[in-house]
Amino acid sequence: MQISIKLDSNCDQSLQNQIFESIREQILSGQLKSGMLMPSTRILNEQLGVSRNTIILAYDRLIAEGYLYSQKTVGTFVNPNLPEDSLMLVDKKSRKTVKRLKDNEKARLKRYPVAFQGRNQALFNPHRDKLNIDFWVGRPDPQSFPISTWRQLTLKKLSHSGPSMTEYHDPAGIYELRKAIADHLRPARGISCNPEQIIIVNGIQEALNVVSRIFIKQGTPVVMECPCYQGAAYVLESYGAELHPVPVDDDGLDVNQLPDKKTALAYVTPSHQYPLGATLPLERRIRLLEWARSTGAYIIEDDYDSDFRHQGSPLTAVAGQDKHGYVIYMGTFSKSIGAALRMGYLVLPEELVDTARTAKALMDNGHAWLDQSVMMEFITSGAYLKHLRCIRRTYLNRRNCLIQELKNNFSDVKLSGLEGGMHLVWHLPESLPEATKVQQIAQDAGIGIYSLPAAAAYDFGKKGYKERTILFGYSSTTEEQIRDGISRLKLAL
């Protein structure tokens, strides 16, 4: 490799000093990274056209002063522990020793402050690699991804892509995919919409960002289920929303406690309330829509895992019952196919479409064409429905196995969220410790189970759900793992 060094024969400094200073400055500025292999003295001799002995002396000085270090027969490297990092000075007033600020740290103190304020959500368990069995929430079965079909469709699309891979496309998404989604939602969720009302997004999180960008400024009132999905609360909060918790009970959102005042948005998960799992009954859905009309609020319906219904027929989505354009519907393929696809969609009231499309364009100019095109073929070919039928049976069997094992191994088992979805909730009996302690005991035994905060849930009300609630995801664990995991959990507790 070569590094940039400019030498000036007319300079008062010797060539050796010029080489030393140039390399030192590049190390301190970060241009030459910690641990980076330096070019040999022979390569620099050929590059700079100066005596090799001059370069050797410059390298020796850099090594002596701690900027480089040498490994015999291997090479010379940038030192990760620079002398500037260990320079100390004494504060004359406090007589305390403090670390000297580097030049770039001093510059940072003068810079304009960062405007963004937000909290990071719990997307994964950092201890997951230490677990033998993991009941993580909302993760599809890794063996269920339709790899063969996906590969065939990808190759097909690539072979007929023409200019599609090199052009910008509609930021709202390719029309064919939006039409396929509209055709799917009509029978599946009872939503009658046209393709123009749909915007393709990078999952639910981007959908929330688009909606927040349209509506929220500092102090905007937003109603949230409590407890709720952490990712939604944190996004809305980061834009300045003032969150108003409305408690949930065994039937989901308690519509009797909705605020009787003007509100911008209400975020709900009616099909399978996250995290507690209730399905909002029809009567409450109608009252929620009536409340939206009376307050002028838009309802954000997050339908994250409605593809999986285990008991009875699924209720029509709130968006399907909305006749006056008060519902913003959010769907995702993260739960039915895989989160790594980063693909979801918004279904918007017609008056919001142009604004949302502009917001999406300003964010990223639209989703990747190839992914959209493959997804469109996956849906229209019938492969998506076939895939759903297969994993629905698998998840139902795993749910039943988990319910049975909990009842076999523990007395006084109270569960919720059984009607659908990919997880269920265990309301801990008083004979067991609080949820965070139970989670830690299980983790020490190699079992991943999750309290509300650890499962990307946010409890900011006064009901105290988080102290006595454990979530079990069952979609990515086999029945054998479920039986083994619950047996080991009992032993650990």
Question: Has residue 110 been placed in a domain?
Answer: no
Peptide bond into 227 cis (omega under 30): yes
Higher pLDDT, 65 or 492: 492
> Which residue range forms the structural domain that includes residue 328?
150-383
pLDDT at 101: 53
Question: Does residue 368 sit in the same domain as residue 402?
Answer: no
* 216 close to 195: Cβ distance less than 8 angstroms: no
Question: Does residue 426 sit in the same domain as residue 469?
Answer: yes
d(CA 110, CA 119): 25
Q: What is the CATH number of the domain that holds 480?
A: 3.90.1150.10
| Rounded mean pLDDT, 64-81 | 87
Higher pLDDT, 80 or 92: 80
Q: List CB contacts of 290: < 8 A, sequence separation 6 or more.
A: none
The DSSP symbol for 429 reads: -
Take residue 180 and report the two structure tokens written for it.
Answer: 């396929």
Question: Does residue 362 sit in the same domain as residue 421?
Answer: no
Lowest-confidence range among 109-123, 218-232, 242-256, 392-406?
109-123
d(CA 343, CA 360): 14
* pLDDT-above-70 percentage for the chain: 93
Question: Has residue 277 been placed in a domain?
Answer: yes
Residue 459 to residues 76, 78, 92, 120, 368, Cα–Cα distance (Å): 54, 48, 48, 15, 35
Question: Does residue 163 sit in the same domain as residue 74?
Answer: no
Our count of domains for the chain comes to: 3
The DSSP symbol for 275 reads: T
Question: Does residue 202 sit in the same domain as residue 283?
Answer: yes
d(CA 453, CA 234): 13
Question: Has residue 123 been placed in a domain?
Answer: no
Phi, psi of 330 (to 5 degrees): -120, 125
pLDDT at 110: 66
The DSSP symbol for 304 reads: T
Take residue 371 and report the two structure tokens written for it.
Answer: 């992914």
